[in-house]
Amino acid sequence: MTRAVLSIGSNLGDRLGYLRLAVAGFADVLVAASPVYETAPWGVLDQDDFLNAVLIVESADVDEWGWLRRGQQLERDAERVRELRWGPRTLDVDVVTVDDVRSTDPELLLPHPGAHERATVLIPWLDVAPDAVLPGHGPVAELLRGVSAEGVRRRDDLTLTP
């Protein structure tokens, strides 16, 4: 059995629809889905706001590479076009952690190297897992104390399950 934490994001087109597409794609393995947050972009600042959320998924049949592949298939289903690094996208699925697996393979870095400093990941993750620990970094609740939550707004009017 593996349990993964996935960060999903969209800032192009039907943003909520794309996040829902991801949730539907993981419906058979879904343990929890966080609230939806509207977030100011980081990385490339001159782009539209994102919707972000975190999913917890679990399966006896999927290893860390399987979670990556399933996320990438959903990105393709969302007709994502790879253009700019950190640029606009219909759907991004990042594998944040898979249990306490460590990987330095550039195709699958685990834990995700940006997670510890991204409020867009840490805030929704804490919502669904208050005791979560990011391997190598510590409790998510503590990491959040060192990160600015500016530009991260909870959107309770948007729900991931229709």
Ligand X SMILES: Nc1ncnc2c1ncn2[C@@H]1O[C@H](COP(=O)(O)OP(=O)(O)OP(=O)(O)O)[C@@H](O)[C@H]1O
Ligand Y SMILES: Nc1nc2c(c(=O)[nH]1)N=C(CO)CN2
Q: Which residues bind ligand Y (CB under 6 A)?
A: 9, 39-43, 50, 52, 86, 92, 120
**Is 97 an interacting residue with respect to ligand X (CB under 6 A)?**
no
139 binds, among ligand Y, ligand X, none (CB under 5 to 8 A by kind): none
Q: Which string of DSSP letters, residue by residue, matches 114-151? A: TGGG-HHHHHHHHHH-TT-EETTTEEHHHHHHTS--TT
Instruction: Work out how close the CB of 56 gets to ligand Y at its nearest, in angstroms, rounded to a whole number.
Output: 17
Instruction: Work out how close the CB of 79 gets to ligand Y at its nearest, in angstroms, rounded to a whole number.
Output: 17
User: Any idea of the CA torsion for 129, 41, 109, 58, to the nearest 10 degrees?
Assistant: 30
Instruction: Work out how close the CB of 67 gets to ligand X at its nearest, in angstroms, rounded to a whole number.
Output: 8
Residues 114-143 that bind ligand X (CB under 6 A): 114
Distance, in Å, from the CA atom of 108 to the CA atom of 100, rounded to the nearest integer, reads 14
